[in-house]
A = this chain, B = another copy of it.
Amino acid sequence: MSLISPIPVRLKEARTRKELTQQQLGELLGLEPNNASARMNQYERGKHTPDFDTLKRLADILEVPVAYFYCEDKLEAAIVEAVHRLGPEQKLALLAFIETLKS
């Protein structure tokens, strides 16, 4: 991996917002208390990448969509997070609004 993923930055952002330690988040994930801290730290430092299953459970605990972890810019991350809390009709309204912005 020559390019680094946005996961480390987004993960730290969402974890600290919830005021959780790496150890605590790892245990909420269901990791062994023995290695919860080590694994979470490896993810947050970009040493290793969590698989989709792990990412999905992290997203649920941190109340963000999985796509949030892959947003490369902060503004886009904020939008993806906000969109995720909308219902289907609101999402349709949003798509219509974006069309008006394009011109």
Contact = CB atoms under 8 A, between A and B. Distances in A.
Interface of A: 1-5, 7, 49, 51-53, 55-56, 65-72, 75-76, 78-80, 82-86, 88, 90-95, 97-99, 101-102
Contacts of A90: 101
What is the total number of copies of this protein in its complex? 2
A51 B95 contact: no
A84 B79 CA distance: 10
A18 B70 CA distance: 23
5 shortest A-B CB distances, which residue pairs?
Answer: A5-B52, A67-B67, A67-B70, A82-B98, A66-B70
A101 to B, nearest CB: 5
Contacts of A78: 95
